[in-house]
Amino acid sequence: MSQLRPALVAVALTLAVATPAQAAAAPAITVENGRTQPVFSYADAVREHVYVESTVDSDQDGALDKVRVDIIRPKESGPGLKVPVIIDESPYYDNSGRGNEGERKEYDDAGNVVKFPLFYDNYFVPRGYAVLNVDMLGTTRSDGCPDIGGKADVLGGKAVIDWLNGRARAFRADGTPAVADWTTGRSAMIGKSYDGTLANAVAATGVKGLETIVPISAISSWYKYQRSNGVIYNYDYASWLAGYIDTDPAAKCQAVRDRMDAEDGDDTGDFNRFWAERDYIDGLLGDVSKVRASVFVVHTVNDLNVKPDNFSAWWKALADRNVPRKIWVGQTQHVDPFDFEGRRTLWVETLHRWFDHWLHGVRNGITREPRADVEIGPARWITQRDWPAPFAVKASLRPAPDGTLGLKPAPRKSTASFADVAMSESDMVAEIGTANPGRVAFTTGPLPLDLRLSGTPTADLRVKLDKPTSNLTALLVDLGEESRVDWRRGQGITTLTEEDCHGESTAADDACYRKVVTNVATRPLEIVARGWIDVQNRHSLSHAEPLPPGEYGTVKWLTLPQDYTFRKGHRIGLVIAGTDATYSGETGTGANVTVDLAGSRVVVPFVLGTPLTDVPKDTARFRGPERVDLPEPEPGFHFF
């Protein structure tokens, strides 16, 4: 018995070694109810940075520019667990910051970011994503010079996608190679304004691995951002913006800014090679035909910073190619959907499902839902099959010599005249039924029912000038007392003190942001749609063609798009004027403009089912409200 005990002990010890208690399984991507679940620790996530080598030398120092990439990813990610990537590339991480609260990057002693702006990292890293905050070339901790939509801007971001897919090199701070062995290579780009613009630009190169983009209030054509059919909004804007976002000593990139001023064509307002390089629909560096990524567009119809023709033209081009797409259309100004009143949780959930579908391959039905969410009044939204509203009817509203606006053409040889002088929009719409030498105006009678405009009106005028050219402005106006989104004040929102949280937090980086409400104002009128053109660009944006003085010519162009409901009892006004001093830096040509009323109209897309033939026309001329001074947009209007 004494000999048996040692043997039993030995067997017991052997069994104990051979069958240990099972270790806890490491977290893995978990999907429940069609959504990835927050199973990874945000506090324990890997925080690191690398420098990706681009293919450009924008500062001409003899070395290829390197792009600074700040990374946060699940601790478990690596060769055994590869995760997809969400990228926010921005020029604003060390100047204006990101989001409604202007968050900037904050770094630890090792140079790694411990506070990533916005909620993307807090929310998505626990759900099995890596989040990359990329410093656009020429900004923050990247090399090079800002190129304002040009080659360096575009190819810097593309290099990051290439690195994630093994097609470009990257280095750590000590110069050792950095390999992205922790990612599937499947990537998304997201961001508001310039950040979203970079997403559009990189997608237009057709780079492999970029699966989806979410451009918010983003540019698709820098010409559209700074021009309208030959009319210049701001002079030397590209060089100004480059100087603003570049926090290096001014001398470093002065030559690049000087080149922009020399090439931007401010002397004519024409479209040239400078703008073609910065066009992502049909440009020199890329175009919509190359887009491989799905696209989730968010924009607002009252964004008079990145004007909404940037999204409408991009959206139509994507639709023409059947690119998988989704859209939210709001009514505030230059505002992120995270700050749409009452929509924050829905936005986070929708974005989550969109990324899960395109990056993790989750079948959650998001591509089978209505394509468009549209705000039709202050914080009032609908969903519909597409945008603009399908099956809209294009109605021709025609000016008459008695100042009315109806459906029948004016008598032949009916005319109206004004001078091309620089006027503010307040002056253009003031006392709309009285004579003004700087504009002509026309109004319908009271509407018998609501009329919803959805899409892009067209101004179609026949004019003659006594000088070779003139700027023309067309304004479509809603005349009637109404509470509307006050996008001129605070971009249309007021920030509250109460917060809500989306994602996990650390002491250095919380996931909580202040709530907002929509600003509303009651006024007797609202300018609904705006459109501008230089008459000499009526046939071509690239080549000026003066209109021979004394000869009539057709001038036809698109206004900015809108989605707006004219209420029953209101009147629709049409104002035709010269240079719009609210949005253009030009002074006006002084030309006398004669409008052939019989040959002129504005074509407005109204939603199907509206009995347009019932719109009455008064016999008495409508005088309109007394002068209404519309507030000018608040300072900072040129910032992204």
- pLDDT 10s digits, 50-66: 999 999 999 999 999 99
Averaged pLDDT for residues 582-596: 97
Domains, in order of start, for the chain = 31-384 (3.40.50.1820), 392-484+522-607 (2.60.120.260)
Residue with tokens 């925080």: 47
Q: Each residue of 562-596: b (16+ CB within 10 Å) or e?
A: bbbbbeeebbbbbbbbbbbbbbbebebbebbbbbb
Residue 266 CA from chain centroid, whole number:
24
84-98 residue pLDDT tens: 999 999 999 999 999
Give the C-alpha separation, 316 to 303, whole Å: 18
Averaged pLDDT for residues 248-260: 96
Residue 368 has φ and ψ, to the nearest 5°, of: -100, 0
Return the pLDDT at 121. 98
Task: Decide if 193 is catalytic.
Answer: yes
Return the pLDDT at 403. 97
152-180 residue pLDDT tens: 999 999 999 999 999 999 999 999 999 99
Annotated active-site residue in 303, 420, 478, 534 = 303
193-212 residue pLDDT tens: 999 999 999 999 999 999 99
Q: At 25, is the pLDDT very low, low, confident or very high (cuts 50, 70, 90)?
A: confident
Position 1 pLDDT exceeds 70: no
What residues pair up with 415 in beta bridges, in sequence order? Answer: 596
- List C-alpha distances in Å: 1 to 5, 14, 568: 7, 20, 104
Q: How many CB atoms lie within 10 A of CB 32?
A: 8
Question: Backbone dihedral region of 425: left (phi > 0), alpha (psi from -120 to 50 degrees) or beta?
Answer: alpha
Annotated active-site residue in 54, 58, 187, 193 = 193
Environment class of residue 506 by beta-carbon count within 10 Å: exposed (0-12), middle (13-18) or buried (19+)?
middle
Position 23 pLDDT exceeds 60: no
Percentage of the chain lying above the pLDDT 70 cut: 92
Annotated active-site residue in 334, 352, 357, 502 = 334
Average pLDDT value over all residues in the chain = 93
Position 341 pLDDT exceeds 80: yes
pTM, two decimal places = 0.93
Position 474 pLDDT exceeds 50: yes
Q: Each residue of 90-113: b (16+ CB within 10 Å) or e?
A: bbbbebbbbebeebebeeeeeeeb
Percentage of the chain lying above the pLDDT 90 cut: 90
